[in-house]
């Protein structure tokens, strides 16, 4: 999924209301935060299903 290569922002400017989300990843050297408003990286569904498997609960 190459999450560390995702853009730092995914914004859909045409939508004023909707879904906002962020992913925060801590590494040994820094913290990476990815913000979004109504837009998702192409690997988003795979990311969500992988997290669901890890936590053994639905993640959407």
The whole-number pLDDT of residue 1 equals 87
Who contacts 50 (Cβ-Cβ below 8 Å, separation ≥6)? 1
Give the pairing type, strands 9-11 and 31-37: parallel
Half-sphere exposure of 12 (CA within 13 A, CB side): 13
User: Three-state SS for 18?
Assistant: coil
The whole-number pLDDT of residue 16 equals 80
Over residues 8-40, the pLDDT tens digits come to 999 999 988 889 999 999 999 999 999 999 999
Q: Please give the DSSP secondary-structure letter assigned to residue 58.
A: -
């Amino acid at each position: 999924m190459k999450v560390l290569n995702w853009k730092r922002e995914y914004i859909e400017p045409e939508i004023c209301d909707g879904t906002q989300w962020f992913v925060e990843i801590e590494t040994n050297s820094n913290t990476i935060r990815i913000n979004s408003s109504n837009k998702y990286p192409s690997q988003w569904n795979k990311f969500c299903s992988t997290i669901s498997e890890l936590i053994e609960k639905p993640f959407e």
